[in-house]
């Protein structure tokens, strides 16, 4: 919804305080927004874990390298899960 000449993605406009009826009329939109924000967070964490995995040091143990690989796989699963939820809810809403 546009308010104060800007796109508002929260329940209330941060500039004038007007209620965003697009979100309050359909609570599924609020849930979708939550899922999209969660997905972004998971993607950031996955990128961070991949970056850490690339930072091998000569004195790293095999256990440490395996742990980093497990962390990356775990975050990939989380991203897939959040993405699936967001896509399913988008399909329900439309």
| DSSP line for 72-87 | HHHHHHHHHHHHHHHH
pLDDT at 13: 81
Contact (CB, 8 A) for 86 and 32? yes
- DSSP single-letter state for residue 11: S
Distance of alpha carbon 74 from alpha carbon 91, whole angstroms: 26
pTM of the model: 0.71
Domain ranges across the chain: 28-93
Which of the four pLDDT bands, split at 50, 70 and 90, describes residue 86? very high
Average pLDDT over residues 58-72: 87
Tokens read off for 40: 């972004």
pLDDT tens figures, 22-34: 666 678 888 888 8
Rounded percentage of the chain residues whose pLDDT exceeds 90: 44
């Amino acid at each position: 919804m546009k308010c104060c000449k800007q796109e508002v993605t929260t329940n209330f406009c941060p500039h004038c305080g007007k209620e965003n009826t697009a979100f309050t009329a359909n609570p599924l939109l609020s849930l979708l927004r939550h899922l999209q924000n969660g997905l972004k967070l998971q993607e950031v964490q996955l990128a961070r874990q991949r970056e850490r995995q690339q930072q091998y040091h000569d004195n790293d143990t095999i256990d440490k390298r395996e742990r980093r690989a497990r962390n990356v796989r775990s975050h990939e699963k989380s991203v897939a899960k959040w993405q699936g939820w967001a896509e399913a809810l988008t399909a329900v809403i439309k």
